[in-house]
Structures are given as C-alpha cells and as structure tokens.
Amino acid sequence: MKVAIGSDHGGFCLKEELKALLAELGVDADDFGTHTADSVDYPDISRQVAEAVAKGEYERGIIICGTGIGVSIAANKINGIRAALCNDVFSAQMSREHNDANILTLGERVIGPGLARMIVEVWLKTAFAGGRHACRVEKIMALEKV
C-alpha cells in the first residue's frame, strides 16, 4: 500500500511519529510536509495530499493538524476524497468498513501518539465491506456532481 502523509505545524510532531509507524509496518509512505514546526497553512498541505490520493497516485492519505478538523474540511473539498476525522479506534474501523474513507485526519492536540498509532493501524488494515455500503458511498460521491 502506498500512503501520502502530511501535516501543518500543529500536527508536525505526530506526523513524524506516524511516519516511523508506517515504516515499521512496511507501508510505502511519502511525506508532503510540512518538514518543520514553523507555521504553514493547513489547506495547502491538505490539497496536496488529497489531490495525490484523488489522482490514484496513492491508495490512501493521512493528514494531521492541531484538531484534525481543518484538514478534514479542506481535503473533502477535493473530488473523489472521503476524509474521515477519527479520534478513536472504532470510528477509524467504521470509516473504512462502511464509508471507504481514503484519507484519515487526526488532531495532534486531541489524541496522543499511542492512540494515534492504534487508530492508524486499524484504519490501514480495515477493508471496505462493500455490499449495502457501496450504494451509500456512490450516493456520497454523486453529491460532488450537484
């Protein structure tokens, strides 16, 4: 699996932690920035990661900011993206199983690195269930055409 990962300054430390986890798991990941704790605008990072996922260059993406809210809103503006803000393991599992989320967003100031690692592991390992959920995801994607 190939994953795009990025953060603003508010998510920089957690991004670095999660990059190490991805390496441990053998996941091929590319870092879209930021590369320091200096202030940057989260919509720029979200756009880069989301566009790369939407184009099919990456199977999934992970974006982190202080709360995970801003990067989620920004990423979901890109056609083809289903970004899910997850602060617990169950939500991460359901975002994949029921919603086929292709981007996970996290808030460094909301969750700690231990929980974040568990969320990412479950999110990466959970497959989309399809079936009755497929038509619902299709309806979500059809909203982009409205």
> 36-91: per-residue pLDDT in tens?
999 999 999 999 999 999 999 999 999 999 999 999 999 999 999 999 999 999 99
Q: Work out the mean pLDDT of the chain and round it to a whole number.
A: 97
Task: Tell me what pLDDT residue 146 has.
Answer: 81
Q: Which one is catalytic: 13, 35, 86, 98?
A: 98
Burial class (CB in 10 A: 0-12, 13-18, 19+), 92: buried
CATH number of 2-143: 3.40.1400.10
pTM exceeds cut of 0.75: yes
- Look up 65 and say whether it is catalytic: yes
Residue matched to tokens 């619902």:
136
Residue matched to tokens 């756009």:
47
Annotated binding site for D-ribulose 5-phosphate: 8-9, 66-70, 99, 109, 132, 136
CB neighbourhood size of 116 (10 A)? 25
Task: Tell me what pLDDT residue 21 has.
Answer: 98
